[in-house]
Amino acid sequence: MKAFPKRGSRIDWPGIRALKLEFQVSKAAILYRAKSLELLDDDQYRGAVITLKNRGEAIQEAEDAFCQKEEAEIVTKALDVLRVHHKLSRDAVAKQLDVNPALLAQILPASPELADPPRVKPILQLVK
């Protein structure tokens, strides 16, 4: 595969960095994907992961500051479904989960729509 950077049997770390910045994924994810596509064998993969760990990049990678952080979409969409289709407010969700509403407010994305139940717009008909 042409997109995966290698220099012979060695990993091209500047190329891995470029892929990370282009696709906004971790170096570890790039290495894992390369292994799953059989672009790296087990020894190359293991060595690359050890290199990341030795460089102190196993948890936070050097280029992370240049990557845009992902927003939680699934939780937000699930809360919208609860609000719109089930008419559940944030307090109602907290009650259903048997948690304190303040705790729920801390762990869930801020959603002003979830705080209050939705207003139903009256249906207007034109009359002659």
Q: Which residues of 29-41 are buried (b: 16+ CB within 10 A; e: fewer)?
A: ebbbebbeeebbe
Over residues 2-40, the pLDDT tens digits come to 677 777 778 898 898 888 888 888 889 999 999 999 999
Over residues 86-100, the pLDDT tens digits come to 888 888 888 888 989
Token pair recorded at residue 91: 């307090």
Grade residue 115 by pLDDT with cuts at 50, 70 and 90.
very low
3-state secondary structure 59-91: CCCHHHHHCCCCCCHHHHHHHHHHHHHHCCCHH
Using DSSP, state whether 11 is helix, strand or coil.
strand
Q: What is the pTM of this model?
A: 0.54
